Amino acid sequence: MPLIVFPTSQLLWVRVVALLFTCVAFSVAAHGAYLPSSGMADWCIFCWAFSFACTLLVLLVEQFNLQARAPVSWTNFPITIACYGALLCLSASVIFPIFFLKNQPYSQTRDYRIVSTVFSCLAAVAYMGEVCMSKARPGEVAGYMATAPGLLKVCQTFVACVIFILVSDPVLYNQHEALKWCMAVYCICFILSMAVVVLCVGECTGCLPIPFSKFLSAYGLLAVIMYLTATIIWPVFQFDKRYRGGSDTNPIVVSVLTALNFLLYLADLVYTARLVFVTA
């Protein structure tokens, strides 16, 4: 009877470990953590389940050598999933203990929640390891998503998603027109960054009416300017008593994340300029 032998590699085992850790995290949380019905609980479960499902898909495609039949670029898809998995599991590792472990009395439910937190942290480390192993080395030919600008695009979209969650419950951008401008900045830059990710993963960069490198440079400069305005405007109109005078936690976190995304877009612009002009 013929044996089916699956090829193994260091990267394969890292993915298997990440798969197991995310499976344990959401299985334990769903089984015995008795989480309340809330947005944060749903977010954590989504982080683990989404990462598990996508990693399982990557493993199945690679083990059965179906890369050529996949409707995506296999030089870009796995590392994109790994980067999103690292960010999702990292966010769940921070959010879950803050909302569901803090000030919890000792009980079996608390033990389940501790287990989910520990395996979430381990999954985040595993995904970070996969990203480090898969990213492009100097002089190496690789897909765009394996380069620093590609990974920065993933981080930009993730930070924007967290901002959307924070400004939506409660709504923080209706008090002044300037705050609505900040919301427009978050939306426009998120859509363009996600479009770049989708174009690269779907191998559709040639569909643009202009060269992809010029599009990246123009968009990067525009995003830096727009986020610079939001970085200045958001705290001014959120914390000035003439406009709002609030002291909630969400506006503070949004201010920090806005500044963080500005730095990510600035670093992206610098890397893109080096790739376009220095290489040329």
Instruction: Provide the CATH number for the domain around residue 83.
Output: 1.20.120
Q: What pLDDT, on the 0 to 100 scale, is given for residue 91?
A: 94
Number of domain units in the chain: 2
Report how far residue 35's alpha carbon sits from residue 48's, in angstroms, rounded to the nearest whole number: 15
**Predicted confidence pLDDT, tens digits, the chain (280 residues):** 444 444 558 899 999 999 999 999 999 988 877 777 777 888 899 999 999 999 999 999 998 988 888 889 999 999 999 999 999 999 999 988 988 887 777 778 888 889 999 999 999 999 999 999 998 776 666 788 998 899 999 999 999 999 998 888 778 888 888 999 999 999 999 999 999 999 999 988 888 888 888 899 999 999 999 999 999 999 988 876 665 544 567 888 899 999 999 999 999 999 888 765 544 3
Taking the CB of residue 89, how many other CB atoms lie within 10 A of it?
Answer: 30
Q: What pLDDT, on the 0 to 100 scale, is given for residue 280?
A: 38
Contacts of 205 (CB under 8 A, 6+ apart): 144, 199, 212
Q: What pLDDT, on the 0 to 100 scale, is given for residue 20?
A: 96
- Say yes or no: 128 and 59 in one domain: yes
- Say yes or no: 122 and 172 in one domain: no
Tell me which of 79, 111, 141 is where a domain ends.
141
- Say yes or no: 10 and 103 in one domain: yes
Domain encompassing residue 254: 147-279
Q: What pLDDT, on the 0 to 100 scale, is given for residue 130?
A: 95
Contacts of 23 (CB under 8 A, 6+ apart): 52
- Say yes or no: 115 and 45 in one domain: yes
Taking the CB of residue 212, how many other CB atoms lie within 10 A of it?
Answer: 17
Report how far residue 181's alpha carbon sits from residue 230's, in angstroms, rounded to the nearest whole number: 8
- Say yes or no: 221 and 274 in one domain: yes
- Say yes or no: 178 and 219 in one domain: yes
Dump pLDDT digits (tens) for 171-222.
Answer: 888 888 899 999 999 999 999 999 999 999 998 888 888 888 889 999 999 9
Q: What pLDDT, on the 0 to 100 scale, is given for residue 39?
A: 75
Bin 212: left if φ > 0, else alpha if -120 < ψ < 50, else beta.
alpha
Q: What pLDDT, on the 0 to 100 scale, is given for residue 137?
A: 74
Report how far residue 83's alpha carbon sits from residue 226's, in angstroms, rounded to the nearest whole number: 25
In b/e form, how buried is each residue of 48-58, taking b as 16+ CB within 10 angstroms?
A: bbbbbebbeeb
Give the residue among 242, 225, 110, 216 at the shortest CA–CA distance from 153.
216
- Alpha carbon dihedral 158, 223, 263, 201, in 10-degree steps, equals 40
Tell me which of 119, 141, 163 is where a domain ends.
141
Whole-model pTM over 0.75:
yes
Q: What pLDDT, on the 0 to 100 scale, is given for residue 173?
A: 83
Tell me which of 123, 141, 159 is where a domain ends.
141
- Say yes or no: 208 and 268 in one domain: yes
- Say yes or no: 110 and 171 in one domain: no
Report how far residue 110's alpha carbon sits from residue 114's, in angstroms, rounded to the nearest whole number: 6
